[in-house]
């Protein structure tokens, strides 16, 4: 264990050391962090619901009725009427026969991966998939086959070369560090052609894309069924906490029986389920949030083009500004913070070497003036 400090010091020298900030105010664009007021562009609160009065009121009412904690796993005595109602409403929202709540998106992906593919099976994953999908593959014991990012020809070739047996394709819907979207229709077509299941992790698409915010699957005209599984998180666009998996009756019952990250953990508080139900209703009813979000993205991209900033291809609220060298990205993030703008530098190993970036993310709670202030700060930092 003596080498731990040496390794930490090396991370610091390499510009890879991570430090936590201390937030002193609720999740809003204007926040107080580490004792300073700032304008934040680093949350996943895409619809601006995390501090919405109706969501907060539902949480408070839920706590008064159900208490602060669930007190047990779902399969013991922790599954309340609030959890059950939320599962039914989520299933209806995404057009699935059933949905199952998990404590986090990470645990949901681990649960699916560990419960479904047998060790003789094969898992086909996009090379830029979220860490939870890759870790789930390792836990499953199945053979992991990674295809080039968004490259359907490469996936087709690897599927054709694979021996007969159980197959599962897994992909992010929206890639969290690049902001680009998976070709969902092509993935579904290849899954059908090669008798494979498809798991779509739509953590960053749910609430933002598709009709009523039903996500990238709905945007492609598809719904979860016997062969298509959807994982969605509740702590991003919906502003609360937790995750769910949606799919067939048989899938959900299998996960209840076999997903270790569901069976062996305490259920989330029922009050959080009540808050999520309120957030889900706002998501369905208030399409203006998505329209406003898209207008902010369009304004930012137009302004960035005038400044000759190198943005990655993305039409989502995730707008990465590619810098390249790790220390340069860190210095830019620090310069923005000194100007009162909070934008994180994303460094290896989260992204590949030489592709460090500023990850700018927008919320429906931002204003057009906020975008202009960000552009002005970016222009000033770039000139320096």
pLDDT of residue 232: 98
pTM of the model: 0.94
SS3 (DSSP) at 274: helix
Which domains does the chain carry? 20-47+287-383 (3.90.1150.10), 53-285 (3.40.640.10)
Closest by Cα among 207, 206, 134, 135 to 171: 134
Is-catalytic flag, 204?
yes
CA count, 13 A, side-chain hemisphere, 87? 22
CB 101 within 8 A of CB 86: yes
The arithmetic mean of pLDDT across residues 158-173, rounded, is 93
**Residue 22: both structure tokens together:** 């201390």
Binding site: what residues are annotated? 18, 105-106, 130, 176, 204, 233, 350
Q: What is the pLDDT of residues 41-75, one digit of tens each?
A: 999 999 999 999 999 999 999 999 999 999 999 99
As a whole number of Å, the end-to-end CA separation of the chain is 42
Q: Nearest CA to 82 among 97, 107, 96, 65?
A: 65
CB atoms within 10 A of CB 73: 15
Catalytic pick among 52, 74, 236, 292: 236
- Give dist(CA 42, CA 24) in Å, integer: 15
Judged against a pLDDT cut of 90, whether residue 318 lies above it is answered with: yes
* Positions at the binding site for substrate: 18, 130, 350
| Average pLDDT value for the chain | 95
CA neighbor of 128 nearest in space, from 102, 154, 164: 154
Share in percent of the chain as helix, strand, coil (round to 5): 45, 20, 40
Known binding residues for pyridoxal 5'-phosphate? 105-106, 176, 204, 233
Q: What is the pLDDT of residue 292?
A: 98
Give the mean pLDDT of 333-360: 93
What does the block give as tokens for 251? 């899938």
pLDDT confidence of residue 185: 98
Whether pLDDT at 370 is above 70:
yes
Cα 330 from Cα 15, distance rounded (Å): 7
The per-residue pLDDT for 18 is: 84
Share of the chain above pLDDT 90, in %: 86
- Res 192 pLDDT > 80: yes
pLDDT at 12 over 90: no
* Active-site option among 74, 204, 292, 366: 204
Q: Which one of the listed residues 176, 261, 333, 361 is annotated catalytic?
A: 176
Q: Nearest CA to 173 among 142, 215, 221?
A: 215
Answer whether residue 239 shows pLDDT above 90.
yes
Q: State yes or no: pLDDT of 117 exceeds 90.
A: no
Say whether 2 is catalytic.
no
> Residue 286 — φ and ψ, nearest 5°?
-110, 80
236 given a catalytic annotation: yes
In whole angstroms, give the CA distance from residue 58 to residue 282.
12
Model pLDDT, residue 15:
77
Q: What angle do CA 106, 202, 40 make, to 5 degrees?
A: 80
Question: Is pLDDT above 80 for 119?
Answer: no
pLDDT value for 2 = 66
């Amino acid at each position: 264990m003596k080498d731990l400090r040496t390794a930490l010091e090396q991370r610091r020298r390499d510009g890879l050391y991570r430090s936590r900030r201390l937030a002193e105010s609720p999740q809003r664009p204007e926040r107080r962090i580490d004792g300073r007021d700032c304008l934040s562009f680093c949350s996943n609160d895409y619809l601006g619901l995390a501090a919405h009065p109706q969501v907060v009121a539902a949480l408070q009412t839920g706590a008064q009725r159900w208490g602060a904690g669930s007190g047990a796993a779902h399969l013991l005595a922790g599954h309340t009427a609030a959890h059950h109602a939320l599962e039914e409403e989520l299933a209806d929202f995404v057009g699935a026969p059933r949905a199952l709540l998990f404590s986090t998106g990470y645990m949901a992906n681990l649960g699916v991966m560990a419960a479904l593919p047998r060790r003789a099976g094969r898992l086909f994953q996009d090379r830029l998939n979220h860490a939870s999908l890759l870790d789930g593959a390792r836990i499953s014991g199945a053979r992991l086959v990674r295809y080039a990012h968004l490259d359907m020809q490469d996936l087709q070739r690897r599927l054709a070369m694979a021996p007969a047996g159980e197959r599962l394709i897994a992909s992010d819907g929206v890639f969290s560090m690049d902001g680009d979207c998976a070709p969902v229709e092509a993935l579904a077509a290849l899954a059908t052609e090669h008798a494979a299941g498809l798991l779509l992790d739509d953590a960053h698409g749910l609430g933002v894309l598709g009709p009523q915010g039903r996500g990238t699957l709905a945007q492609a005209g598809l719904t979860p069924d016997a062969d298509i599984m959807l994982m969605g998180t509740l702590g991003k666009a919906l502003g609360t906490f937790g995750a769910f998996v949606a799919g067939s009756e048989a899938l959900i019952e299998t996960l209840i029986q076999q997903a270790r990250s569901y069976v062996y953990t305490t259920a989330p508080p029922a009050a959080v389920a009540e808050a999520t139900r309120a957030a889900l209703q706002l998501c369905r009813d208030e399409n203006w949030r998505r329209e406003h979000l898209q207008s902010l993205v369009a304004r930012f991209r137009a302004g960035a083009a005038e400044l000759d900033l190198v943005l990655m291809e993305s039409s989502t609220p995730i707008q990465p500004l590619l810098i390249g060298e790790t220390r340069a990205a860190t210095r830019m993030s620090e310069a923005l913070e000194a100007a009162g703008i909070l934008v994180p530098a994303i460094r290896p190993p989260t992204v590949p070497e030489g592709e460090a970036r500023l990850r700018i993310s927008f919320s429906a709670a931002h204003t057009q003036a906020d975008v202009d202030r960000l552009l002005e700060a970016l222009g000033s930092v770039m000139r320096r």
